[in-house]
Amino acid sequence: MAGETASQFLPILYPFGLGILSGVISIVLSRILSQRRRYNPIKFLPMECGQIPTGEGRSHFMMQYYSYILMFVVFDVMSIFLYAWAVTFFSIPKEATLPMMGFLGIMFAAMGYALFLSGRKGIW
Partner 1 sequence: MGSITPDFRFGNFAGSIVQLVLVVVALLTVLILPIIFFTLFFVPLPVVNGQVLTPYLFFSMMVDPSRTLPIIKFLIHTDYFRAAVFPGFGFSALIAAATIFIERKLLAKMQLRIGPLYAGKIEGIFQLVADGLKLIAKEIIVPSGADKPIFWLAPILFVSTSAAVVSLIPVASGWVVANVNVGLIAIFGILGFFPLITLLFSWASNSKYPFIGGLRALHQMIAFEIPFFLSALPAVILSGSLNLSDIARSQNIFWNIFVMPINAFVFYISSLAELERIPFDLPEAESEIVAGWLTETSGMIFGLIQLGSYLKLYALSALFVILFLGGWYGPQIFPHELIPGASASNISLLKIFGLVGLYNAVTVNSIFWFMVKTFVIILLMLITRGINPRIRIDILLHTGWYKLIVLTFINLFIVLTLIYGGILGPGGMISPK
Looking at the Cβ atoms of 61 and 123, the one nearer to partner 1 is: 61
Is the Cβ of residue 73 or residue 123 nearer to partner 1 in the bound state?
73
| Candidate residues 61, 93, 95, 123; the one interacting with partner 1 per rule CB under 8 A | 61
Helix, strand, coil percent values for the chain (each to nearest 5): 65, 0, 35
| Distance from C-alpha of 108 to C-alpha of 27, rounded to nearest angstrom | 48
Per-residue CA distances from 71 to 62, 65, 76, 108, 119 (Å): 18, 10, 8, 12, 13
Residue 91 as a binder of partner 1 (CB under 8 A): the answer is yes
Q: Are 111 and 75 contacting, i.e. CB atoms less than 8 angstroms apart? A: yes
Which of 2, 69, 98, 123 is close enough to bind partner 1 by CB under 8 A? 69
What is the nearest approach in angstroms of partner 1 to the Cβ of residue 14? 3
Half-sphere exposure of 85 (CA within 13 A, CB side): 15
**Applying CB under 8 A, does 48 fall inside the site for partner 1?**
yes
Q: Under the criterion CB under 8 A, does residue 92 sit at the interface with partner 1?
A: no
Helix (H, G, I), strand (E, B) or coil at 18: helix
Would you tell me which residues interact with partner 1 (CB under 8 A)?
5, 8-20, 22-24, 26-27, 29-31, 33-37, 43-49, 53, 57-59, 61, 63, 65, 68-69, 71-72, 75-76, 79-80, 82-83, 86-91, 94, 97, 104, 108, 111, 115
